[in-house]
Chains A and B, each alone.
Chain A
């Protein structure tokens, strides 16, 4: 406990850094997954191929990725970009399937009705399909957020500061409190992201809350 009190400044700094570094891969991963997931959803033939290939990305060990990326992209081995790009790849790997599933979850009748009243394909995607895919997208995004926050700790091996520092530091110097604090703070940051996403979901998808309203018809069906 004294270790924690003596290092409050460091812990806070690393936590903020961890939050900052997590945001970009989550957002980028989401944005890149949208067109990929859409293609997988839209064209049956490519679905298996795209989702399998993208899924395989997740199986590449993060250390290997940190080593492969810099020469491939001409970025610094010890740069933040290295870690952010690697984490974005993992985010895409998870999210592309979520996007495909989310789009497939939209009621075909609603989709047809939207077309029948005069939505263009582009307008319908953003005005109908995408928002109605929201709940499943959100579920995927929550997994991505937790995964990113946890994976980011590995970035310490290429010198990118995050809560991961508390692991290596604690290990090298034999300070158990440091390791435990790292674990607890990582979990808390993950929970924070999760809460924020759920809240955003409620804010952006007010209709999902009406399902349980007393008047809702077919809610039990």
Chain B
């Protein structure tokens, strides 16, 4: 469990990026921070591994205040995946994945074996192991980034718009892969995005942020969609524009659902016992 308690962050230049933010991030769940540019998502995420230190307030991981943990040690036990993969361009794929275990002193051979296993885990062909990042497609690079994030088998995985720079088809693929990985590996994932569809797809808990890290609403996707807390949220999730509104039409005696654009979304059936 990660707990933000009345966290504020003022940068040296005076920008108040986060203003009195409190949130509990449950373990073994995907929590998505979603909000427009500049709302403080990255700043919040980076406080968890102390890339950014809070100005005031306390941040605890499983009851331990992060300010008491040495930053480099802390970062080595938390996975971090960012946009454009953040891979080291001068290291081959296998060495990139093995980076953190190697920093922790794991022997090279062992670290490489584990890296190859991780390539299987994230759906990468082992043949790519000897390539440099520049020789991979954007989607493959992101997979390597995820594999690197998982290399030390961390409890926590931080992801900052990890799929923001890949095309929609690859993104959909990677999203499904992440859901599968989370189910199988049971990680606590904190995921940052500005795409509300991605947030609803991935998040067990979705936190909608306004400027200054102010929480506009948090809850499950269903809760938020069913009951937007404000006009801001309604507009952000697209409820106001009817984007989320589905209407029932009866065709040949069957009830089908049609979305705001008149496109077929599905067929209405009786919800049976799960």
Interface residues of A (CB under 8 A from B): 107, 109-110, 112-120, 123, 128, 131-132, 134, 205-207, 210-211, 213, 215-219
Inter-chain pairs besides A210-B132, A210-B135, A213-B135, 5 sampled, C-beta below 8 Å:
A117-B76, A117-B149, A118-B72, A132-B89, A211-B134
For B134, the chain A residues whose CB sits under 8 A away are 207, 210-211, 213, 216-219
Listed A/B pairs (10) with beta-carbon separation below 8 Å: A110-B86, A110-B88, A113-B85, A113-B86, A115-B51, A116-B46, A123-B103, A205-B90, A207-B132, A219-B134
Per the bound structure, the CA–CA distance linking A219 and B135 in Å amounts to 9
Chain B 83-123 interface 0/1 with A at a Cβ cutoff of 8 Å (1 = within): 01111111100000001100100000000000000000000
Chain A residue with minimal CB distance to B49?
A116
Residues of chain B touching chain A, judged by Cβ–Cβ distance below 8 Å, are: 46, 49, 51, 72-73, 75-76, 80, 82, 84-91, 99-100, 103, 131-132, 134-138, 141, 148-149
Given A210-B135, A211-B134; A114-B51 close (CB under 8 Å): no
Residue of B nearest to A210 (CB): B132
Chain B residues with CB under 8 Å of A219's CB are: 134
Contacts A123-B103, A215-B135, A219-B134 given; indicate if A117 touches B75 (C-beta within 8 A): yes
> Which residue of chain A has its CB nearest to the CB of B134?
A216
Chain A residues in 8 Å Cβ range of B141: 217
CB pair A116 B132 closer than 8 Å: no
Q: Are A216 and B135 in contact (CB-based, < 8 A)?
A: yes
B90 contact set on A, CB distance < 8 A = 128, 131-132, 134, 205, 207
Q: Are A119 and B137 in contact (CB under 8 A)?
A: no
7 pairs of A and B residues whose beta carbons are closest in the complex: A113-B86, A118-B76, A118-B75, A116-B80, A207-B90, A207-B132, A210-B132
* Chain B positions within 8 Å of A206 at CB level: 132
- B155, chain A: closest CB distance, angstroms: 15
- Give the residues in chain A near B84, CB-CB below 8 Å: 109
The residue on B at minimum CB distance from A205 is: B90
| A134–B89 CA distance with the chains assembled, in angstroms | 12
Q: Select which of A107, A118, A205, A216 is within 8 A of B100 by beta carbon.
A: A118
With a cutoff of 8 Å between Cβ atoms, the chain B residues found around residue A110 in the complex are 86-89
Q: Taking CB as reference atom, which chain A residue is nearest B99?
A: A117
- In the assembled complex, which residues on chain B have CB atoms less than 8 Å from the CB atom of A128? 88, 90
For residue B89, which residue of chain A has the nearest CB?
A: A207
- Looking at the assembled complex, report how far the CB atom of B42 sits from the nearest CB atom of chain A, in whole angstroms: 10
Contact call B88/A114, Cβ cutoff below 8 A: yes
Q: Are B86 and A217 in contact (CB under 8 A)?
A: no
Contacts of A205 in B (CB 8 A): 90
Q: Which residue of the partner chain, among B73, B75, B135, contacts A116 with CB atoms under 8 Å?
A: B75
In whole angstroms, what is the CA distance A114 to B75 when docked? 10
Asked if residues A217 and B136 are in contact (CB atoms below 8 Å), the reply is: yes
Per the bound structure, the CA–CA distance linking A216 and B149 in Å amounts to 23
* A116:B88 contact, CB within 8 angstroms: no
Distance between B56 CB and nearest chain A CB, rounded to angstroms: 23
Which residues on A sit within 8 Å (CB–CB) of B148?
A: 117
Specify which chain B residues have a CB less than 8 angstroms from the CB of A213 in the assembled complex: 134-135
Chain A residues near B82: list those with CB within 8 A: 109, 112-113, 116
A132-B89, A207-B89 known; A117+B135 contact, CB < 8 A: no
**Bound Cα distance from A113 to B133, whole angstroms:** 14
Residues of A within 8 A of B51 (CB): 112, 115-116
Complexed CA–CA distance, A132 and B89 (Å) = 8
